[in-house]
Structure 1
């Protein structure tokens, strides 16, 4: 998933600018348009984010505004975070499959 651009692995010590860049890259690589499928807006409202907040806050904000998709994370047992944009249906299926493999996939703010 990382090599195809459907997921990104980020260090837990990254800046807001890097987070937003990588989320936008995930949206683009999934061939989604932010105005049609995710937010209903022309783009992600970067003014709603604050550098002093943590990644959990940023993820929660995005997930509260998206209706058909979720920004999800996969716990890989390291100091980094693997993020993906999945449809609500893909997210449910991914959670089921992850349990079978003894892994955890959840909305990103819960990791």
Structure 2
């Protein structure tokens, strides 16, 4: 179990950083992990996959894509981040209005 600061977050994923070298060594691209994100009034557990990994002189950064979490939790996060409820119009759009990229979960 690790705790790390969230650098950036969207409804589709997040970027976090950590200083522990063993985590940087063990957490590889395409690794599936369960993230727990704690807010003041709610805790979300989200199945995720590491998609990016890079380092600077102090920390290793991990970009993760959200793959699996409860619809209620997704709607909570969406409204928290964007200040409006999730609607069916959002269903066919990716963030920024472009179509979603293909996602092969069985690579």
TM bucket normalised to smaller: under 0.3
TM-score (norm 1): 0.27
* Richer in strand (by share): 2
Greater helix content: 1
TM-score of the aligned structures, taking structure 2 as reference length? 0.27
Structure having the higher Rg: 2
